[in-house]
Amino acid sequence: MTAPATLTVDLNALAANYRTLEAVGGVPVHPVVKADAYGLGAEACARRLAAEGARTFFVARTREGERLRAALGAGPAIYVLDGCLAGRAGRVRDAALRPVLNTGEQLAEWTAAGGGACGVQIDTGMNRLGFRPGDAPGPFPGLDLVLSHLACADDPAEPMNARQRDAFAAAAERYPGTVRSFANSGGIFLGRDYGFDASRPGICLYGGGPEGRPDARIRPVATLAAEVLQVREVPAGDSVGYSRGFIAEAPRRIATVAAGYADGVLRSYSPRGLVWVGGSLQPIVGRVSMDVCAVDVTGLEVAVGDTAELFGANRMLDDAAATAGTVAWELLTSVGPRVLRRYLG
């Protein structure tokens, strides 16, 4: 290892997930690489996805789009989900980005700046971004994509999914010949009738399951690992870490691991988090601190310099997120900037 805490990104697994999502959905995948590709590194991930055939990408912010354009060069279409904020049209155009317009104000801003290739978001019930179907603009020059977003795609039993799908199909009839993009990761697995013309997955590309739990069809992509800095024998009655968060009722062997909440080991792992170390899953004990966490390795041959895995092939991302009381999306995007990103493939 070249740093105490490392996020290893398996680009071959990323590519495999991309192909799986195209096969399952039956339509082209337009990868979502917002938030630095969910923390994995937008530049490296988007380059590999482009090499696999991806021609269209989504980011959230204009600034993310500018960076992605610099990384990918001219060619791929890059849509900005924020749309075109007041005074921002010049930057969007300069980087040849395509805003996903969400409001009449955004449409006016984009048109006043000369317009050009762009998308429109229809709000089919999430009440987050986009035009209500009744307020959506008619077709206009430059419009080349219409999208909507599912609120409950990770729950196939949720009746809202079909309602949103039908509302989207109806709204999109207004834009004949325009590419229709509907399904995120979860949506791809809801059935081919959720596919429309192109999908927009994020989390399943990066190794999360479509329903918030591990799925055999999705390969792990990211591994967060850290070195053991010190191993100590803690006598009965002693405590470990801040606020005496753990009290040893019997003698324990404790490994201090070089990853804390500044690295993405959420404080909410206390007291249920598990770490793969010494060939088994072992409990995080006491409070996670900023730079380190303590792991109970009683009875194991664990030594300084050994590697502990917070998530990866031995500790599935979705399971790790569940014990931290969160979701894979938040866990990945919480991996801090000081963690070294390393790429395989």
Ligand X SMILES: *Cc1c(COP(=O)(O)O)cnc(C)c1O
**Which residues are catalytic, by number?**
34, 242
Q: At what angle do helices 62-72 and 42-51 cross, to 10 degrees?
A: 50
In the complex, the smallest distance separating the C-beta of residue 36 from ligand X, rounded to whole angstroms, is: 13
In the complex, the smallest distance separating the C-beta of residue 172 from ligand X, rounded to whole angstroms, is: 15
Binding ligand X by CB under 6 A: which of 39, 125, 201, 278? 201
The secondary structure of 214-264 as a DSSP string is: --TTS---EEEEEEEEEEEEE-TT-EESGGG-EE-SS-EEEEEES--GGGT
What is the spatial distance between Cα 212 and Cα 215, in angstroms, rounded to a whole number? 9
Binding ligand X by CB under 6 A: which of 48, 149, 253, 315? 149
Binding ligand X by CB under 6 A: which of 200, 253, 287, 315? 200
| Between 17 and 270, CB nearer to ligand X | 17
Q: What is the x/- site pattern for ligand X, positions 14-43, by CB under 6 A?
A: ------------------x-x---------
For the chain, the C-alpha Rg in angstroms (whole number) is 23
In the complex, the smallest distance separating the C-beta of residue 32 from ligand X, rounded to whole angstroms, is: 4
- Of 11-19, 134-142, 178-186, 294-302, the window that binds ligand X (rule: CB under 6 A) is 178-186
Positive/negative CA dihedral, 283, 289, 290, 292:
negative
**325 near 232, Cβ under 8 Å?**
no
Determine if 185 is a binding residue for ligand X (CB under 6 A): yes
Q: What is the x/- site pattern for ligand X, positions 202-221, by CB under 6 A?
A: xx------------------
**185 near 149, Cβ under 8 Å?**
no
Report how many residues bind ligand X under the rule CB under 6 A: 11
Give, for 44, the enclosing helix (H) or strand (E).
helix 42-51
Q: Where are the beta strands (DSSP E) in 1-65?
A: 5-10, 56-59
Determine if 81 is a binding residue for ligand X (CB under 6 A): yes
Closest CA to 69 of 49, 44, 95: 95
142-to-20, 115, 116, 139 alpha-carbon distances in Å: 31, 7, 5, 9
Give, for 43, the enclosing helix (H) or strand (E).
helix 42-51
Determine if 99 is a binding residue for ligand X (CB under 6 A): no
**21 near 205, Cβ under 8 Å?**
yes
- Of 43-51, 167-175, 196-204, 303-311, the window that binds ligand X (rule: CB under 6 A) is 196-204
In the complex, the smallest distance separating the C-beta of residue 184 from ligand X, rounded to whole angstroms, is: 3
- Of 45-53, 179-187, 250-258, 298-306, the window that binds ligand X (rule: CB under 6 A) is 179-187
- Of 169-177, 197-205, 233-241, 308-316, the window that binds ligand X (rule: CB under 6 A) is 197-205
| Between 64 and 296, CB nearer to ligand X | 64
Residues that bind ligand X (CB under 6 A): 32, 34, 81, 149, 184-186, 200-203
